Structure 1
């Protein structure tokens, strides 16, 4: 690993494989994480990770980068991957993070874009704006979300008429979950108490959201009271995948403990 400070506070971290088939995997990811954490501790939080010399990236590599992304995002920083090969781009799509982790074709284009962006809005201004947004209840189509803490976001899912969540109206929820992950919000509580029925498409969107947050070591918990909704999760076996609570408070209490543990591990 090596790094170089570029203009306007951008730091490029180069991952240089020792072998021709070197990959960013469970063996290599911890070393890169250590370097990135050191740079963050020194105040370098606008980062470009150069993957041009890496032949492959696995799930653990993207999980690590997702955690770093989350750390710098709420401090007003950024993390961009540069020059990943076809395999890495394909893996990024498979783990559901193509819309969340920024990717650029070259290091120079990533540096130029970040430098121009931070010339318009400083790290400090971004951090203030992100903290202010974190305290608001925000409307997203028919749904709303609220950042309850640095880690936990509550999404109130509104079913359409008559309270259904399915193929005809699920696209905005899919986009909302993707947008939240792209903001580094990886502990999501989905409040489904206003949903009376959910079909397979609705279930698929929530499962897709779980796939996204897991790549950042996140969690999705559900709050539901409708028997048809609960039955849909039971018959599909998803009660083994999602913790389901009767109230938002109980969900926050449980997910809060998990989020605190993840924060310590970082």
Structure 2
């Protein structure tokens, strides 16, 4: 499966969705997208690799370089890993991914603390009747980004 990279914004963080195979043939597209987002001003990023079928050492190196690039700008990176029983996660664990990164099992988990903060900020507006119908979840607007594919 070809590499696919798309991104959007949630709770003030850029969420990058990566799917397919992250190997020598597609890693340049991933590296370019992540670096471009950072140079364009992104300082808080969640990279969701939960739909990655394969990730070799070149893909891991891109994730480490992204983390370093963000850290050098006082930014933060959170990583969403594939399921615990997947081959890809087992390989990434051999690389030490969970020791190096702020790793999560889902985008929702990675952003949970931010969601709670946004909901707490919006609580006074809800009680004043400015929000939607009672019981409706307040979710900030999401910005969708472009899709990059590599064959």
Count, aligned residues:
112
User: Which is richer in strand?
Assistant: 2
Specify which structure has the bigger relative contact order, considering alpha-carbon pairs within 8 angstroms and separated by 6 or more residues: 2
Deviation at 1:253, TM superposition (A): 2.0
Q: 2:19 aligns with which of 153, 158, 172?
A: 158
Is 1:147 matched with 2:6?
Answer: no
Instruction: Report the RMSD for the aligned CA atoms in angstroms.
Output: 2.0
Do the aligned partners of 2:50 and 2:82 also contact (CA within 8 Å) in 1? yes
Length-normalised TM-score, structure 1: 0.39
The whole-number CA distance in structure 2 between the counterparts of 1:207 and 1:229 is 17
Structure 2 Cα separation of the partners of residues 153 and 239 of structure 1: 21
How big is the shift at 1:237? 1.7
For 1:204 and 1:225, the matched residues in 2 are separated by 17
* Equivalent-residue separation in structure 1 for 2:27 and 2:59 (angstroms): 6
1:183: how far off? Answer: 1.5
Q: Deviations over 1:171-222 (max 9, x none)?
A: 1110011111111111111111211211000000111111110011112111
Which of 69, 76, 93 is equivalent to 1:212? 69
Of Structure 1 and Structure 2, which has the larger fraction of its residues in helix? 1
Counterpart-to-counterpart distance in 1, 2:33 and 2:111: 20
CA distance in 1, matches of 2:65, 2:91: 16
CA distance in 2 between counterparts of 1:241 and 1:228 reads 19
Displacement over 3 Å in runs of 4+: none
The gaps in structure 1 that reach 5 residues or longer are 1-140, 261-266
- Larger Rg over CA atoms: 1
* Equivalent position of 1:196 in the other structure: 53
